Amino acid sequence: MILFQCDYNEGAHPRILERLLETNMEQTVGYGEDAYCESARRLIIAKCGADESLAVHFLVGGTQTNTTVIDAALRSHQGVLCAVSGHINVHETGAIEACGHKVLGMPSKDGKLSSKQVKEACEAHFAEDGPEHMVQPKMVYISNPTELGTIYSKQELVEIRKVCDTYGLYLFLDGARLGYGLAAPDNDLTMMDIAALTDVFYIGGTKVGALFGEAVVIRNNELKKDFRYFIKQKGGMLAKGRLLGLQFETLMKDGLYEEISAHAIALAEKLRTAFEAKGYRYLVPNRTNQIFVIMPDTHLDALKGKFGFAYQQRVDETHSAVRFCTSWATKEDNVDALIAFIDKL
Amino acid sequence: MILFQCDYNEGAHPRILERLLETNMEQTVGYGEDAYCESARRLIIAKCGADESLAVHFLVGGTQTNTTVIDAALRSHQGVLCAVSGHINVHETGAIEACGHKVLGMPSKDGKLSSKQVKEACEAHFAEDGPEHMVQPKMVYISNPTELGTIYSKQELVEIRKVCDTYGLYLFLDGARLGYGLAAPDNDLTMMDIAALTDVFYIGGTKVGALFGEAVVIRNNELKKDFRYFIKQKGGMLAKGRLLGLQFETLMKDGLYEEISAHAIALAEKLRTAFEAKGYRYLVPNRTNQIFVIMPDTHLDALKGKFGFAYQQRVDETHSAVRFCTSWATKEDNVDALIAFIDKL
Amino acid sequence: MILFQCDYNEGAHPRILERLLETNMEQTVGYGEDAYCESARRLIIAKCGADESLAVHFLVGGTQTNTTVIDAALRSHQGVLCAVSGHINVHETGAIEACGHKVLGMPSKDGKLSSKQVKEACEAHFAEDGPEHMVQPKMVYISNPTELGTIYSKQELVEIRKVCDTYGLYLFLDGARLGYGLAAPDNDLTMMDIAALTDVFYIGGTKVGALFGEAVVIRNNELKKDFRYFIKQKGGMLAKGRLLGLQFETLMKDGLYEEISAHAIALAEKLRTAFEAKGYRYLVPNRTNQIFVIMPDTHLDALKGKFGFAYQQRVDETHSAVRFCTSWATKEDNVDALIAFIDKL
Amino acid sequence: MILFQCDYNEGAHPRILERLLETNMEQTVGYGEDAYCESARRLIIAKCGADESLAVHFLVGGTQTNTTVIDAALRSHQGVLCAVSGHINVHETGAIEACGHKVLGMPSKDGKLSSKQVKEACEAHFAEDGPEHMVQPKMVYISNPTELGTIYSKQELVEIRKVCDTYGLYLFLDGARLGYGLAAPDNDLTMMDIAALTDVFYIGGTKVGALFGEAVVIRNNELKKDFRYFIKQKGGMLAKGRLLGLQFETLMKDGLYEEISAHAIALAEKLRTAFEAKGYRYLVPNRTNQIFVIMPDTHLDALKGKFGFAYQQRVDETHSAVRFCTSWATKEDNVDALIAFIDKL
């Protein structure tokens, strides 16, 4: 069986494993203060425009990273604006609320928030006679690509930034799949743009070539203060911090992160061509590594047991939307096999 | 200026103040374990069908009561289903989230939840392949009357109870305005029904004749255990517990609670007649003590400075919905003055 | 039976009840924004040295006030230094921890913290190589009088302030029994001193003449910001805020707070004279309204059923320490009766 | 420079890396539900006495594991008894409190809790007239070996178990260094004993041969329920769960865990012999992999820059206690080099 249901079915890029082997018995200090972490930090800062004031931290996983960043940013009466489909709103078992903060879910069909929505939520709150009866919006959480594979344009990000500045909100970008967003054919954002326009964002490793790991980049000084306390408290301070530093050092060197992201996108595009040829429509069109395609249930039945995919939702009596993902690890042969199978349906 | 914006503008029913005066220098033990609390408990149990196994506790205010009940009921991965307009979802500054629990807001136009919605939410959750990525629904929160003045029928409550039983959910009814719900012309619920159908509910005092105070009634044994720890921790264990016991003793005796609730409803009905005569429509029709009426902005301008009302929302370019409340304290003269003023607009 | 076990057995000073009666049917806006609250604020500011920049808020009870102040002040990695006997450490059912903050208990025999202890705790933390593995001290909580009836001298408070300034800590004084501390014969602090030396403190009403209520006074601007959100979230924003304003207005006018505090202290001193004549020793000597006296168990047995007292702890095989309290409400006749009874033991 | 300051300076046992390489491009389902996790579970259950009802879960790190277990076990008014030196009390940045639970620190010189202490704490709490004003003890947390390298005897564990049964407390054993405890010459406990006597414990991987990872073993059914929700919420549900399963499968097979633990203990014993020959005393004597030795400051100065050790505390004007650790990765040559250096001091 060939799995396409997610982008974390395999281990890590071979270069990463190689480096783990080479350095395995080196003695390094713990908790992210070793030379590999330092080197990875410098490489990330370089990609982000060489702004030396950026703080870079390495954490283990996405839910942990979201929780750590958001809890470090908010006081207990403040909430985070988020598309209803946002990962923190639906797929983290209430981790944000467990830290005491409300996720202020906002309607969204494509997984994105608009600057207009943010503006209206803030206006509604601060214009209130007694705003203290309600949770105060203090942060905007967006993911790029979103959970539905869509991406923000530079213009959209600039506009959200403006609203955040007007109302004193932090802008936090969840980049669990950032590589795949930056590699998308219709993308016009760079990592430098993102570092400049957000208060804090993270570069996903788990889904983009690493065994695990997310690199948090903080521009806003308020959020830098005492951040390591939060990493430790939320369980994200890996004893053998070297493992994280070394993985990101490898990904950020010699264009590896971009190269493997591009690989996933190329294969996703190939798959899209086949789906479109077959006349399938999309639940949400996008050009990143997640394809949300609407298929006849009979076709899905035929795929079962041979190809893994993720069930998303029923569309009508005879059709469902499902997700196929490519990743850094996807083999072209497997994509070809899937295409061949689909062709014959 | 005559205030109609809410049902807590005045102090307490004179009989309550009288009793406070009479007993002021008596020495009683603290924290709700005095004879007045005990007497009030017995009176409430009698109204609830004389089920001696019911636990009754007295707390100071509504937000505190909601927080205490919900935190006592839920573990940190569990959430509470609630209409989006529910008080805990919008008007308690994230108190439930601050205790670590997600409020699972569900669409509602009239402030009510349907058994169908609850069923669908539970089905969706428990049918999931990996439900542990999502907050587990464990409680249903309804208010009766709701924040929009509507009430549940006995049939509706029975059906929600059934779904709760199927999925192992607690049913919690916020009765901050319970008296006004039970006194509504279209109500078919009794306090006995509510005590029998919910796991826990509360009888509002603050808005129905007391200076302050809410009486929590618990039927489910799981929720009874250690409940006083939660009251204390959430700041609801009044040192001079007698104040709460005495107020509820007074309200529950000789039909006072029902009498003053009926007074508010009679005046609300009088006001409705006048509004309808004028051709005003309702944002949400109901027969309790809160009237959500749609009026021309010009009329609202005329009322300003003379009559207090609460602004609810814009309806169209020239109309807004506003709230007028009556209460146990409303004077018929004031209602008449408002009607006379409206008539002349 | 005559109760001496605590200072909250009775209701409120008659002048307060009188004012409640007079104003009962007045219509006022809710949530602490009425004219009575405003008037009480002005009176408190005047007592605190007429510093108009002080923020004053009214809450219902002590646990709630401590929780609200501390949660408003601390981020989740920060803790509050406190004597092990501090109310927040032992008698609030973990309310501070329930908001996510560690109480850093420090040894103390007399209920007080010394500036030296605070200094050492801060030095130990900030000198650490990896301080982020430990909770960061950010606030000092002291009570005055303490839970053991002792008080701070001005010099002691000045020194704690200095250490707080050195390490960037907030100083919070719990004044649940403040009146009795200020009225003690050996006190050299004024409310003005306290307002000047702390970042935030509160003036206790519940134990000093009010039905309930605590007045929080905030000097530090950081703590003022959004404080009403916290009051609401923690359940302390009384719908009928007038009740709190009116009580504090009455207490703060015409020297009533000082007068009734002095009454309690005079009776405590009278009782002490009798205890000392009898040869009893103190568990912790002090001159405020709580007397922690060591008595033979046989004497305690004789008192039972006639006089109420609070059991504190066993001292040796035949002696125990118990607490007798006086208050604004204590009648001299009752004190005389107790003295007469003791004399005959 | 040769590092002895902790037991997590290196990577993983070579067999683990080998297995990571071999399986790197296998496609497995995520979140701990793959075949490697299943296999590791079976191996652990076998070591724990083949009780098939045991639940086994894999998490990433120790702080996370402690937080997850404790938050899953306690309601918000309940606390966990713990030696003051316990990891959760001092070295996890208040992670337990951040989840809303008080750590009830108890005095201890050797890092251990006695059944007597637990009994007294429970008696004191439940005998109280108003226990609800205090945090309710509901769990006992012990570490074995402790943070000071000491271990519990079987008899001690049996007695703590008895007290826990009497008062309805959960017993949780933190086994971050479990292998080194079981391999100690003076140990009489087996993993089977621990599985039988505790409600929940964990087998440390991070410090005993794995790159990272802790295996939680749950015997008490109450704690099994919904445990995966807590793992997810606290950020411990590794996307590529295979990494954890595979590491524990390797450690639990063919006696590897016992073998590498014994290696560390043998080298620690060798080091002890040298320390004792030199006349050094111990801060806390023990036979596990952490040696807390008291040395003249002049000797420590000589070691600096050549050998890494952890500073523990000042003992007198000229002596300090420091920690030397061995681990699965310690090379005998390095121990010999240290011994030779010490000999010459």
d(CA B140, CA C40): 41
Angle separating helix axes A242-252 and A256-277, nearest 10 degrees: 70
d(CA A298, CA A289): 24
Q: Model confidence over D229-252: pLDDT tens digits?
A: 999 999 999 999 999 999 999 999
| Nearest CA-CA distance, residue A9 and chain D, Å | 5
Q: Model confidence over D177-218: pLDDT tens digits?
A: 999 999 999 999 999 999 999 999 999 999 999 999 999 999
Is C71 in the A-facing interface, judged by CB distances under 8 Å? Answer: yes
Is D133 in the C-facing interface, judged by CB distances under 8 Å? Answer: yes
Chain C residues near residue D94 by CB distance under 8 angstroms: 76-77, 79, 100-102, 135
Is D304 in the C-facing interface, judged by CB distances under 8 Å? Answer: no
d(CA A174, CA C227): 30
CA neighbours closer than 13 Å in the CB half-sphere of residue B59? 30
Q: Model confidence over B80-104: pLDDT tens digits?
A: 999 999 999 999 999 999 999 999 9
Residue D127: pLDDT band with limits 50, 70, 90: confident
Chain B residues near residue A105 by CB distance under 8 angstroms: 105
Decide if A233 and C136 are in contact by the 8 Å CB cutoff: no
Of the partner residues A17, A61, A212, the one whose CB lies closest to the CB of residue D21 = A17
Summarize the confidence of residues B54-61 as an average pLDDT.
98
Chain B residues near residue C6 by CB distance under 8 angstroms: 30
Neighbours of B279 (CB within 10 A): 6
Q: Please tell me the predicted confidence (pLDDT) of residue B193.
A: 98
Q: Does the pLDDT of residue C284 top 80, yes or no?
A: yes
Is B64 in the C-facing interface, judged by CB distances under 8 Å? Answer: yes
Q: Model confidence over B204-258: pLDDT tens digits?
A: 999 999 999 999 999 999 999 999 999 999 999 999 999 999 999 999 999 999 9
**Which ipTM value was assigned to this complex?**
0.97
Residues D312 and D337 sit within 8 Å (Cβ to Cβ): no
Residue D344: pLDDT band with limits 50, 70, 90: very high
Angle separating helix axes B256-277 and B242-252, nearest 10 degrees: 70
Is B296 in the A-facing interface, judged by CB distances under 8 Å? Answer: no
**DSSP-derived secondary structure for C4-38:** -S-S-SS---HHHHHHHHHHTT----STT-SHHHH
| Nearest CA-CA distance, residue C31 and chain A, Å | 9
Interface A-D, measured as beta-carbon pairs within 8 A, has a size of 147
> Residue B264 to residues B4, B224, B281, B325, D8: CA-CA distances in angstroms?
12, 33, 21, 9, 71
What fold, for D2-7+257-344? Aspartate Aminotransferase, domain 1 (3.90.1150)
Q: Does the pLDDT of residue A98 top 80, yes or no?
A: yes
Q: Does the pLDDT of residue D253 top 80, yes or no?
A: yes
| D204 class by beta-carbon count within 10 Å (0-12 exposed, 13-18 middle, 19+ buried) | buried
User: Mutation test of the interface with chain B: which of D34, D78, D229, D231, choosing the one with the most B Cβ atoms within 10 A?
Assistant: D229
Q: Which of D112, D208, D115 is nearest to D152 (CA)?
A: D112
Q: Does the pLDDT of residue B71 top 80, yes or no?
A: yes
- Subunits with 3+ Cβ pairs within 8 Å of D are A, B, C
What fold, for B14-256? Aspartate Aminotransferase; domain 2 (3.40.640)
Q: Model confidence over D45-69: pLDDT tens digits?
A: 999 998 999 999 999 999 999 999 9
Q: Please tell me the predicted confidence (pLDDT) of residue D173.
A: 98
Of the partner residues D29, D207, D235, the one whose CB lies closest to the CB of residue A236 = D235
List the alpha helices (DSSP H) in chain D. Answer: 14-23, 35-47, 62-73, 87-90, 95-98, 115-126, 154-167, 178-182, 191-197, 221-224, 227-233, 242-252, 256-277, 297-303, 332-344
Q: Please tell me the predicted confidence (pLDDT) of residue C146.
A: 98
Is B296 in the C-facing interface, judged by CB distances under 8 Å? Answer: no
Residues 6+ apart with CB under 8 A from A25: D10, D11, D329
Chain C residues near residue D132 by CB distance under 8 angstroms: 93
Residues 140-159 (A) with a CB less than 8 A from some CB of B: none
**DSSP-derived secondary structure for D186-210:** T----HHHHHHH-SEEEEE-TTTTS
Q: Does domain C2-7+257-343 have CATH number 3.90.1150.10?
A: yes
Decide if B91 and A133 are in contact by the 8 Å CB cutoff: yes
d(CA A62, CA D237): 10
Decide if B232 and D136 are in contact by the 8 Å CB cutoff: no
Chain D residues near residue C98 by CB distance under 8 angstroms: 76-77, 100
Of the partner residues C1, C3, C24, the one whose CB lies closest to the CB of residue B10 = C24
d(CA A57, CA C45): 46
Average pLDDT value over all residues in chain C = 97
Domain boundaries, chain C: 2-7+257-343, 14-254
Return the residue of A nearest to C236 by Cα.
Answer: A133
| Nearest CA-CA distance, residue C270 and chain B, Å | 21
Q: Please tell me the predicted confidence (pLDDT) of residue A18.
A: 97
Of the partner residues B130, B136, B232, the one whose CB lies closest to the CB of residue D132 = B232
Q: Please tell me the predicted confidence (pLDDT) of residue D137.
A: 98
Residue D129: pLDDT band with limits 50, 70, 90: confident
User: Mutation test of the interface with chain A: which of C226, C227, C237, C238, choosing the one with the most A Cβ atoms within 10 A?
Assistant: C226
Decide if A94 and B79 are in contact by the 8 Å CB cutoff: yes
d(CA B321, CA B312): 5
Q: Model confidence over C71-122: pLDDT tens digits?
A: 999 999 999 999 999 999 999 999 999 999 999 999 999 999 999 999 999 9
Residues B51 and B195 sit within 8 Å (Cβ to Cβ): yes
Average pLDDT value over all residues in chain D = 97
List the Cα angle B183/B189/B194 in 5-degree steps.
115
Q: Please tell me the predicted confidence (pLDDT) of residue C205.
A: 98
What fold, for C14-254? Aspartate Aminotransferase; domain 2 (3.40.640)
The alpha carbon of C62 is separated from its chain's Cα centroid by a whole number of angstroms, namely 8
Q: Does the pLDDT of residue A12 top 80, yes or no?
A: yes
Is C237 in the B-facing interface, judged by CB distances under 8 Å? Answer: yes
- Rg of chain D on CA atoms, in Å: 20
User: Mutation test of the interface with chain A: which of B64, B66, B82, B93, choosing the one with the most A Cβ atoms within 10 A?
Assistant: B93
Residues C43 and C215 sit within 8 Å (Cβ to Cβ): no
Summarize the confidence of residues C277-302 as an average pLDDT.
97
Summarize the confidence of residues B60-72 as an average pLDDT.
98
Is D127 in the C-facing interface, judged by CB distances under 8 Å? Answer: no
Of the partner residues C77, C90, C93, the one whose CB lies closest to the CB of residue D94 = C77
Q: Which two tokens stand for residue A199?
A: 């208060």
**DSSP-derived secondary structure for A331-344:** -HHHHHHHHHHHHT
Residue B129: pLDDT band with limits 50, 70, 90: confident
Decide if A226 and C130 are in contact by the 8 Å CB cutoff: no
CATH of domain A14-255: 3.40.640.10
Fold agreement (C2-7+257-343, C14-254):
no
Residues A114 and A142 sit within 8 Å (Cβ to Cβ): no
Q: What is the pTM of this model?
A: 0.97
Is D56 in the A-facing interface, judged by CB distances under 8 Å? Answer: no
Is B226 in the D-facing interface, judged by CB distances under 8 Å? Answer: yes
Q: Please tell me the predicted confidence (pLDDT) of residue C108.
A: 97
Decide if D61 and A60 are in contact by the 8 Å CB cutoff: yes
Of the partner residues D28, D207, D235, the one whose CB lies closest to the CB of residue A64 = D235
Decide if B102 and A97 are in contact by the 8 Å CB cutoff: yes
d(CA C194, CA A38): 48
Of the partner residues A76, A94, A134, the one whose CB lies closest to the CB of residue B102 = A94
Q: Please tell me the predicted confidence (pLDDT) of residue A166.
A: 97
Tell me how far apart the 2 most distant CA atoms of chain D are, in Å.
Answer: 63
Is C129 in the A-facing interface, judged by CB distances under 8 Å? Answer: no
Residue C191: pLDDT band with limits 50, 70, 90: very high
Chain A residues near residue D60 by CB distance under 8 angstroms: 60-61, 235, 238
CATH of domain B2-7+261-343: 3.90.1150.10
Neighbours of A155 (CB within 10 A): 11
Is D99 in the B-facing interface, judged by CB distances under 8 Å? Answer: yes
The torsion angles phi and psi of B139, rounded to 5 degrees, stand at -145, 145
Interface A-C, measured as beta-carbon pairs within 8 A, has a size of 48
Is B35 in the A-facing interface, judged by CB distances under 8 Å? Answer: no
**Single-letter amino acid, residue B325:** C
| D269 class by beta-carbon count within 10 Å (0-12 exposed, 13-18 middle, 19+ buried) | middle
Decide if B238 and C63 are in contact by the 8 Å CB cutoff: no
Summarize the confidence of residues C185-190 as an average pLDDT.
98
Summarize the confidence of residues C231-244 as an average pLDDT.
97
Of the partner residues B92, B100, B134, the one whose CB lies closest to the CB of residue A98 = B100
Is A94 in the B-facing interface, judged by CB distances under 8 Å? Answer: yes
List the alpha helices (DSSP H) in A278-331. Answer: 297-303
| Nearest CA-CA distance, residue B78 and chain A, Å | 8
List the alpha helices (DSSP H) in D76-186. Answer: 87-90, 95-98, 115-126, 154-167, 178-182
Share of chain D above pLDDT 70, in %: 100
Q: Which of D95, C43, D206 is nearest to A229 (CA)?
A: D95
Q: Please tell me the predicted confidence (pLDDT) of residue B10.
A: 96
User: Mutation test of the interface with chain C: which of B3, B5, B6, B8, choosing the one with the most C Cβ atoms within 10 A?
Assistant: B8
Residues 6+ apart with CB under 8 A from B18: none
Residues 248-277 (D) with a CB less than 8 A from some CB of A: none
Decide if B239 and C62 are in contact by the 8 Å CB cutoff: yes
